[in-house]
Structure 1
Amino acid sequence: MSRWLVEQLHDDFQLGLKADKVHYDSETEHQRLVVFENRTFGRVLTLDNVVQTTEKDEFIYHEMLAHLPILAHGAARKVLIIGGGDGGMLEEVLKHRGVEKVTQVEIDAGVIDFSKQYLASICKDAYDDPRLDLVIADGVDFVASCAERYDVAIVDSTDPIGPGEVLFTDTFYGKAKNCLAPGGILVTQNGVPFLQGDELTNTMRAFRALFADAACYLATVPTYAGGPMAFGWGTDDPAKRQMSLEVLEQRFREAGIATRYYNPAVHQAAFALPTYIAEMVG
Structure 2
Amino acid sequence: MTEWMRETLHDDHAQALRVDAVLYDSATDHQRLRVFENARFGRVLTLDDVVQTTEGDNFIYHEMLTHVPIFAHGSVERVLIIGGGDGGMAREVLRHAGVRHVTMVEIDAGVVEFSRQYLPRLSNGAFDDPRLELVIADGAVFMRETDQTFDVIIVDSTDPIGPGEVLFTDHFYGHAKRALNPGGILVTQNGVPFMQPDELIGTMRAFSALFADWGCYLATVPTYAGGPMAFGWGTDGDARKVSLEILQARHAEAGFTADYYTPEVHLAAFALPGYVKRLMPG
- Please report the TM-score for the alignment, with normalisation by the length of structure 2: 0.99
Q: Structure 2 CA distance, aligned partners of 1:281 and 1:37?
A: 38
Over the aligned positions, Cα root-mean-square deviation in angstroms equals 0.7
Q: Which residue of 2 aligns with 1:178?
A: 178
C-alpha separation between the residues in 1 aligned to 2:118 and 2:257?
A: 24
The 2-side partners of 1:2 and 1:133 are apart by 42
Tell me, in whole angstroms, the C-alpha distance in 2 between the residues paired with 1:16 and 1:47: 14
Letter in 1 for 2:251: F
Give the match for residue 199 of structure 1: 199
Q: Is the 8 A contact 1:77 1:99 kept in 2?
A: yes
Letter in 2 for 1:248: L
The residue aligned with 2:244 is 245
Asked whether the equivalents of residues 184 and 235 of structure 1 are also in contact (C-alpha less than 8 Å), the reply is yes
SS at match of 2:258: coil
What's the CA shift for 1:178?
1.1
Deviations 1:102-156 (A, max 9, x none): 0000000000000000000111110000001110000000010111100000000
Aligned to 1:86: 86
2:262 partner letter: N
1:212 is matched with 212
The answer as to 2:253 corresponding to 1:254 is yes
Question: What is the aligned partner in structure 1 of residue 60 from structure 2?
Answer: 60
Q: CA deviation at 1:176?
A: 1.0
CA contact (8 A) 1:19 1:36 kept: yes
The 5-angstrom pairing of residues 132-281 of structure 1 reads 132-237=132-237, 239-281=238-280
* Partner secondary structure for residue 280 of structure 1: coil
Q: How many angstroms apart in 2 are the aligned matches of 1:11 and 1:118?
A: 30
Identity of aligned residues (%): 67
Q: Distance in 2 between matches of 1:67 and 1:154?
A: 11
Matches within 5 A, 1:4-83: 4-83=4-83
Distance (whole Å) between structure 2 residues aligned to residue 198 and residue 105 of structure 1: 25
Instruction: Give the AA of the match of 1:207.
Output: F
How far has the Cα of 1:40 moved from its partner?
Answer: 0.5
Structure 2 letter corresponding to 1:247: I
C-alpha distance in structure 1 between counterparts of 2:265 and 2:248, whole Å = 11
Q: Runs of 4+ in structure 1 displaced over 6 angstroms?
A: none
SS in 1 for 2:279: helix
Query: Equivalents in 2 of 1:2, 1:135: separation in Å?
Result: 40
Q: Distance in 2 between matches of 1:109 and 1:166?
A: 18
Distance in 2, matches of 1:67 and 1:91, equals 11
Partner Cα separation in structure 1 for residue 280 and residue 69 of structure 2: 19
How many residues were matched structurally? 281
Unmatched segments (≥5 aa) in structure 1:
none
Shift of residue 2 of structure 1?
Answer: 4.0
Unaligned runs of 5+ in 2: none
> Secondary structure at 1:68's aligned position in 2?
helix
CA shift, 1:15, in A, is 1.0
